[in-house]
Amino acid sequence: MDSRRLLRTSAIAAATVGLLISGCSSGSSSTSATASPKGARNAAPADAPTSEALTPYYTQKLSWRACGVGKFECATLKAPLDYAKPAGGSVNLAVSRVKATGPGKRIGSLLVNPGGPGGSAVGYLQTYAGIGYPAPVRARYDMAAIDPRGVARSEPVECLTGKEMDAYTEVDQTPDDPAEQAALTKAFKDFANGCEAKSGKILPHVSTVEAARDMDIFRAVLGDQKLYYVGASYGTFLGATYAELFPERTGRLVLDGAMDPSLSSLNMNRDQTAGFETAFQSFAADCIKQKGGCPLGTDSVEDASARMEKFFKDADAEPIPTGQSRPLGESLATTGVIAAMYDQDAWPELRTALSRAMKGDGAGLLALADSYYERDKSGNYANLMYANAAVNCLDLPPAFAGPAEVRAALPAFEQASPVFGAGFAWASLNCAYWPLRATGTPHRIEARGAAPILVVGTTRDPATPYKWAQSLAAQLSSGTLLTFEGDGHTAYGRGSDCIDTAINTYLLDGTLPPRDKRCS
């Protein structure tokens, strides 16, 4: 349901479709609990804590143990539950690393984050980055990751049972009458109440600012003077926030599939709606060229869009059998299509799934939706969607205060995307019922004093529209924009030698590509 604001790198999401596919949040806390302490921006030694009360955290020793497959190590890092009260209790954060392979002089630790919010950085490291990043990068960096607070192995936010989550994902997200509208708002309220009941202790302390401060503790404990980092999707906001808080400790940062922290939640959701429309039109144009035919027709992109809209309406009126107890209604069908927009390598699977669904078998689209939600075959869900809502709703004030505001905004969302607009608009209502007030606000991030930062944008990115990368690169005082002219979400490691060479060169010797360099 609130998956419309989910931002994950396509490399790890594709690991769940085949691994599948990658939403959204922004804003910095304005409360004392998460704000940068007085003096944090002064030129203190890079390994010094930001206040005396944080010294025990910055000087802790980790007990590393073998984990995962290969030479990975894992440990538990402690951080304050509340940075305003460092002595008032701690959180346990899962961290992992694999040491540099050589040859060549070790540069430091390269932290990675796949986005979300809610994506497991440790899982991403052990299934992709730690073994799949270019060999020259892995040769000279210890590859490292920290699951952000509230995510995966780091005191995860929990909200619903598997059966409750099944019901939540099936609720009609394009209500046609007052009864359906009431059912949708009740689902949002029940979700929020479940999070508060099961995760009330951690829930107020999962903001992006706090996660960025945790990364600084991890950097210091690893013994690095500077933070080296590759963040994808939502991970770009996490990295930019770190640069804002600790500009003098910022090393080489790659922000791939960038977010725009200056946007309100409403504008962000509306932009993302347009981004998925752009991606769908690209899919449709490719689909109608297929020799085997296209389930959306072979006439034009406009006709394909009309057929897609009709398919969703038909699924709303009469859900499609899947061979399971869960039929494919409009909400799950839409999520399945959205999932495949993140990576063009998933387009053939989507064509097959749509073709079968139009013949009465919705199993393929349901599988895509389940992968997106990280639901396993036993009906259990990872905490991705719970953490996603918890961070999003804390980072920014809600897009809408209630259903009346959604209805008023529907024309703008439907203009942005005739296919997805209504669903995206109603999905943007989820934070209206959150039990906590947002601590963050939209604002520009300049990070004055930070080392050069590389921002990467993809021209037809569905989840993080290209104009967001343009905006972030312009905001950052040391930002440089690298453009990938293509489809899909994020660019690094997705087949462009031009992109990969530019990023690898920056990571290995600090040399930025020429300003406004474009790759295809």
Active site residues: 233, 461, 489
The answer to whether the peptide bond before residue 117 is cis (omega within 30 degrees of 0) is: yes
| Rounded CA separation 147/65 (Å) | 17
Which residue reads 């392979």 in tokens?
101
Pairing of strands 141-146, 108-113: parallel
| Rounded CA separation 508/504 (Å) | 6
Neighbours of 514 (CB within 10 A): 9
φ/ψ bin of 284: left (φ > 0), alpha (ψ from -120 to 50), beta (otherwise): alpha
CA-based max dimension of the chain = 68
Give bridge partners of residue 143 from the DSSP assignment.
98, 110
Neighbours of 154 (CB within 10 A): 28
| Rounded CA separation 168/163 (Å) | 9
CA-based nearest residue to 386, from 146, 151, 190, 180: 151
Q: Report yes or no: 90 and 79 within 8 Å, Cβ to Cβ.
A: yes
Query: Any alpha helices (H) in 104-233, and if so which ranges?
Result: 121-124, 130-132, 135-140, 162-170, 178-199, 208-222
| Rounded CA separation 327/318 (Å) | 9
Neighbours of 270 (CB within 10 A): 23
| Rounded CA separation 395/386 (Å) | 14
Give bridge partners of residue 517 from the DSSP assignment.
482
CA-based nearest residue to 25, from 387, 456, 484, 483: 387
Q: Report yes or no: 258 and 468 within 8 Å, Cβ to Cβ.
A: yes
**Phi, psi values for residue 378, rounded to 5°:** -90, 0
Instruction: Return the DSSP state at 84.
Output: T
Give bridge partners of residue 290 from the DSSP assignment.
none
| Rounded CA separation 94/146 (Å) | 6
Burial of 448 by CB count in 10 Å (0-12 exposed, 13-18 middle, 19+ buried)? exposed
- Three-class DSSP category at 485: strand
